[in-house]
A and B are shown apart, each in its own frame.
Chain A
Amino acid sequence: EPEVTQTPSHQVTQMGQEVILRCVPISNHLYFYWYRQILGQKVEFLVSFYNNEISEKSEIFDDQFSVERPDGSNFTLKIRSTKLEDSAMYFCASSDTSNQPQHFGDGTRLSIL
């Protein structure tokens, strides 16, 4: 079964540094998403992306965050200047149409020191 893959599995970064989390969605999917999960807390929606633009974003997704689909396969989340509170698991997801279930990757654990 096709999978959403995320790299790296674990990223350690100094506070204030930029970080890019990478995702390869399922190949024929058109809708892309990022979520995060702080340790012990709920999975939180960050942003959805379709047709090369953001379709919706949450309050968490402030100016420090950006997303990009630089080519036909990758979908990235950039955090410009990381803060300690950005430490979390970040999950990428994709779906083929707007009313089909989302398929999630296994996440990138981001640790900010």
Chain B
Amino acid sequence: LAKTTQPISMDSYEGQEVNITCSHNNIATNDYITWYQQFPSQGPRFIIQGYKTKVTNEVASLFIPADRKSSTLSLPRVSLSDTAVYYCLVGDEARDDKIIFGKGTRLHILP
């Protein structure tokens, strides 16, 4: 049974901010939230990980509300090259010895 629910696909335009929300109603106390990105014909790439509130790095921001039942990956001012599949993973879906990928969100950036 999947631990997360995220939209199958999203479209946006260059220069826009894109927010991808992931639901994880049954997140456990010790679970971290991890996001990976996969460009066409490439391997997945770690983007960001967080536990609560807000985390920001050079690629994205991750917003986690107090109840932690959802999280939002925010990509500022996207470009065509941000077209990719984005995977939200919770707890042991991204654990030490294996990652269990879902179908992710296919983000398509339009000119």
**Given A101-B34, A101-B49, are A45 and B44 neighbors across the interface (CB < 8 Å)?**
no
Interface residues, chain A, CB within 8 Å of chain B? 4, 31, 33, 35, 42-45, 48, 50, 55-56, 58, 91, 93, 98-99, 101-107
Could you list which residues of chain B lie within 8 angstroms of chain A, going by C-beta atoms? 34, 38, 41-46, 49, 94, 96-103
Q: Find chain A residues with CB under 8 A from B103 CB.
A: 42
**Is the Cβ of A45 less than 8 Å from the Cβ of B99?**
yes
A interface, over-half SS: strand
- In whole Å, how far is A96's beta carbon from the nearest beta carbon of chain B? 12
Find the B residue at minimum CB distance from A98. Answer: B96
> Across the two chains, which residue of chain B brings its CB closest to A105?
B43
Instruction: Determine the distance from Cα of A102 to Cα of B34 in the docked complex, in whole angstroms.
Output: 11
23 A-B residue pairs with CB within 8 Å? A4-B43, A31-B96, A31-B97, A35-B99, A42-B103, A43-B38, A44-B101, A45-B98, A45-B100, A48-B98, A55-B97, A56-B98, A91-B44, A93-B43, A98-B96, A101-B49, A101-B94, A103-B45, A103-B46, A104-B45, A106-B41, A106-B42, A106-B43
